[in-house]
């Protein structure tokens, strides 16, 4: 990645956590950061679990730069978990996975922005200035994402009962589908285990099923139908992992 110098914005980033399992790309991002914020402290992590350890050790970044394709996550569950642990810290997703459906989902989940991994260093530096100023950023080509792009909307249209789930219940349901026990769900969503149990009881009632297995089968069937009707089945498959 070629390095470019850009004007330093009035707002600054004093610390950033880069979460990417490719050391060369992490170094390139750190270099791009240094071109805008010379005094910025950078910490790096190659997995979600490593990132959480850095945060739990007391590192309090102004920004997290996050790759979706990590060795210990499925789909966007890693982003959702990180978002729950640092709800007040902006997360800029930089990924080789690019589609309108993916971008729409990430922004709906609270991302501060999205950049394809082939974005030039100069453009990354410009976007960092936007994020430092408190603004969100999505490339122009992705700003007019179709209303039907979000997979949650597709699933809700196919199975109306899924629309009755609250956003938090949807996150719990996603982790249930990954086979996570209550204790792990509580950790990943930064909730009390009793709260997780209450969410599960409520979502089972809303879906009209009696156990986790039936709920997971309902979601799996909705995913399959969503893939059949979507113009971006690869992205739907990734998001539904």
**In CATH, what number is assigned to the domain containing residue 81?**
3.40.50.2300
With 70 as the cut, is the pLDDT of residue 228 above it?
no
Which residue range forms the structural domain that includes residue 233? 148-239
- Beta partners for residue 91, in sequence order: 64
34 and 80 both lie in a single domain: yes
| Domain total of the chain | 2
Q: What are 86's two structure tokens?
A: 């640092």
Token output for 96: 């080789």
Based on the fold, state whether residues 115 and 42 are members of the same structural domain: yes
Same domain assignment for residues 109 and 175: no
Give me the CATH number covering residue 157.
1.10.10.10
Q: What is the pLDDT of residues 56-86, one digit of tens each?
A: 999 999 999 999 889 888 778 788 889 989 9
- Residues 203 and 215 sit within 8 Å (Cβ to Cβ): yes
Predicted confidence at residue 47, as pLDDT, reads: 95
The reply to whether 26 and 124 lie within a common domain is yes
Indicate whether 115 and 219 sit together in one domain: no
Closest C-alpha among 170, 8, 9 to residue 80: 170
pTM summary value: 0.66
Residue 6 domain flag? no
Cα–Cα distance, 115 to 134 (Å, whole number): 16
pLDDT-derived band at 149 (thresholds 50, 70, 90) equals very low
6 pLDDT band, cuts 50/70/90, is: very low
Rounded to an integer, the average pLDDT of 85-97 is 91
* Residue for token pair 């791009």: 32
Are 98 and 43 within one domain? Answer: yes
- Indicate whether 128 and 21 sit together in one domain: yes
Q: Is 67 helix (H, G, I), strand (E, B) or coil?
A: coil
User: Is the distance from CB of 21 to CB of 78 less than 8 angstroms?
Assistant: no
């Amino acid at each position: 990645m070629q390095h470019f110098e850009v004007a330093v914005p009035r707002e600054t980033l004093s610390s950033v956590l880069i979460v990417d399992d490719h050391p060369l790309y992490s170094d390139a991002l750190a270099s791009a950061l240094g071109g805008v914020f010379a005094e910025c402290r950078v910490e790096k992590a190659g997995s979600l679990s490593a990132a959480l350890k850095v945060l739990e050790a007391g590192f309090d970044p102004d920004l997290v730069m996050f790759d979706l394709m990590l060795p210990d996550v499925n789909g966007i569950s890693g982003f959702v978990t990180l978002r729950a642990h640092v709800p007040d810290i902006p997360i800029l997703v930089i990924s080789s996975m690019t589609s309108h459906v993916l971008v729409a989902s990430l922004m709906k989940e609270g991302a501060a922005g999205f950049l394809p991994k082939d974005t030039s260093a100069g453009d990354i530096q410009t976007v960092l200035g936007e994020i430092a100023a408190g603004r969100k950023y999505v490339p122009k080509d992705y700003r007019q994402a179709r209303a039907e792009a979000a997979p949650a909307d597709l699933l809700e249209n196919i199975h109306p009962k899924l629309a009755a789930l609250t956003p938090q219940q949807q996150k719990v349901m996603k982790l249930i589908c990954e086979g996570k026990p209550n204790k792990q769900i509580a950790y990943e969503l930064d909730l009390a285990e009793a709260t997780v149990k209450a969410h599960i009881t409520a979502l089972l009632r809303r879906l009209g099923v009696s156990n986790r297995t039936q709920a997971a089968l309902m979601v799996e069937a909705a995913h399959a139908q969503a893939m059949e009707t979507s113009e971006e089945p690869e992205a739907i498959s990734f998001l539904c992992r």
